[in-house]
Structure 1
Amino acid sequence: MADREHRYQVTVEWTGNKGKGTETYRAYERKFTVAAAGKADIAGSSDPAFLGDAARWNPEEMLLASTSACHKLWYLHLCAEAGISVESYHDQAEGTMLEAKQGRFTQIVLKPQITLRAGDDIELAKALHHQAHEQCFIANSLNFPVLCEPQIKHA
């Protein structure tokens, strides 16, 4: 199969100019809007630790959410192919970022809680997380570990 290229486009617009631009570090808000054609806008800001608005999504949360969502979508796909019926999937993902001279994420831990149809193979369902990780476009693009600690039960 030939490689296929996919392109994505979003607009990120800073909306935090309080009248003096970035004249000083505290003179502006960190608010921004993420937009894409045909989709609801996402209200963003920096993390409150960096003078951001806690009511808005910050880039670190968006990275964590993207990683969790990509893994979940691959996992659901692989389960469907394997004849395993996932009845619920709830992930409480956690990311660790080190603030240093060059801050960076050091790891993400996915913690999905999954309920399967009664009688489905729990061991196969656990093994499919490894395959989902190998297929996840986001995890494959990151330069730090993405771990998965699933808890799986029957309905």
Structure 2
Amino acid sequence: MTLGEHRYALTATWQGNRGTGTSGYRDYSRDVTIEVEGKPVMLASADKPFRGDPERWNPEDMLIASLSECHLLSYLHACVGAGVVVVSYIDRASGVMREDGRGGGAFTEVLLRPEVVVADASMIEAAESAHKDAHRMCFIANSVNFPVRHEASVTSR
């Protein structure tokens, strides 16, 4: 491994063979377990429109969650550097994926809506500016080929 290079590994196991494998589109479930050593097992599936289990995480959920959490963690780091004390952060993120009519598709955008509370009103301007730094630092946002937009609000307690 080179300096600054990080590797990640997981095991994804399909659990959807109902006895006839993939003999037909409706003949198997999309249930998957995702395991990372030392972490709880994640129950995953396809999204409901694609015959998945709506009670399990789907790839689209996980992509939005990755972008949201990466921004959150990058933002907290940027705020420390700017002398901003964050006391609360909640993001109501959403994304748009369009099917292409050929069996595929792509995300066209993700919108992050962080609601941040800082310790003092004098920190609001720097807290608002820190979102730009967080976006620049976010590894996940820098890895996707669609816009990741931000509609942040910052208030003080």
TM-score (norm 2): 0.95
Aligned pair partner of 1:107 in 105, 109, 115 = 109
Deviation at 1:80, TM superposition (A): 1.2
Aligned pair partner of 1:117 in 104, 112, 119 = 119
1:59-138 correspondence to structure 2 within 5 Å: 59-100=59-100, 101=102, 102-138=104-140
Preserved contact between residue 44 and residue 56 of structure 1 (Cα < 8 Å): yes
1:29-49 Cα shifts (integer Å, max 9, x gaps): 000011000000110000000
Percent identical? 47
Letter in 2 for 1:47: D
Whole-angstrom distance in 1 between the partners of 2:8 and 2:24: 34
2:61 match: secondary structure: helix
Q: Which moved more, 1:77-86 or 1:34-43?
A: 77-86
Task: Report the number of matched residues.
Answer: 154
Deviation at 1:119, TM superposition (A): 3.3
Whole-angstrom distance in 2 between the partners of 1:36 and 1:134: 27
Unaligned runs of 5+ in 1: none
Whole-angstrom distance in 2 between the partners of 1:118 and 1:71: 22
Unaligned runs of 5+ in 2: none
1:38 match: secondary structure: coil
2:33 is matched with 33
Q: Which moved more, 1:76-85 or 1:139-148?
A: 76-85
Q: Which moved more, 1:116-125 or 1:50-59?
A: 116-125
TM-score (norm 1): 0.96
Q: CA RMSD, aligned part only?
A: 1.1
Deviation at 1:3, TM superposition (A): 5.0
Deviation at 1:70, TM superposition (A): 0.3
Letter in 1 for 2:23: E
Preserved contact between residue 32 and residue 43 of structure 1 (Cα < 8 Å): yes
Whole-angstrom distance in 2 between the partners of 1:72 and 1:120: 21
Preserved contact between residue 97 and residue 107 of structure 2 (Cα < 8 Å): yes
